[in-house]
Copies of this chain bind each other. A is one copy, B any other.
């Protein structure tokens, strides 16, 4: 839990009282590689903090899995769309390694938002950061050539290639596994 607290401290200062309250509603979760943390068709009830491991978010579009997000240590994870709208989401989140997480339930978080201003601020700041990251991803996906998208990823987040199966990365980059394999071969 200290890992989470020191992660939070990077973005905003919480009072001891707020940290204590936050700590009291966090539940530890350990799951093994391959299992699904969040599945489509359900209302997402938790935000998770990923302390160890990595995972991917994916959609089923037209019979194929579209991976659009990876998370590694020290990141918050949820199906934000479903979590925020309280509607069933289309998103799946799958563990790519054995993971250690901390979960906070929707109702608990809303209560904290209302009772603790600094946690409300934390929520806003985290949201801003996630928006910004998604936007960066979005723009880099607009590179026309598959090769450019790959090289952009290589420059921006090479660690992804070291920990994630190629097929998922290819999907993340909007190309087939075969194309990505050929691009790498020619590097």
Contacts and interface: CB of A to CB of B under 8 A. Distances in A.
A134 interface: yes
A89 to B, nearest CB: 10
A85 interface: yes
Q: Is the interface of A mostly helix, strand, loop or mixed?
A: helix
A130 B130 CA distance: 11
A85 B132 contact: yes
A28 B61 CA distance: 43
With most chain B CB atoms within 10 A of its CB, the pick from A66, A85, A148 is: A66
A123 to B, nearest CB: 5
Nearest to A129: B84
Contacts of A68: 138-139, 142
Contacts of A130: 131
Given A124-B123, A124-B127, A127-B124, A61 B139 contact: yes
Q: How many copies does the complex hold?
A: 2
A18 interface: no
Given A124-B123, A131-B134, A142 B84 contact: no
Interface residues of A, number: 34
A141 B135 CA distance: 13
A74 to B, nearest CB: 19
27 contacts: A61-B139, A61-B142, A61-B143, A62-B143, A62-B144, A66-B139, A68-B139, A80-B128, A81-B132, A81-B135, A81-B136, A84-B128, A84-B129, A84-B131, A84-B132, A85-B132, A90-B139, A113-B124, A117-B117, A120-B121, A120-B124, A127-B127, A127-B128, A134-B138, A138-B141, A141-B141, A142-B174
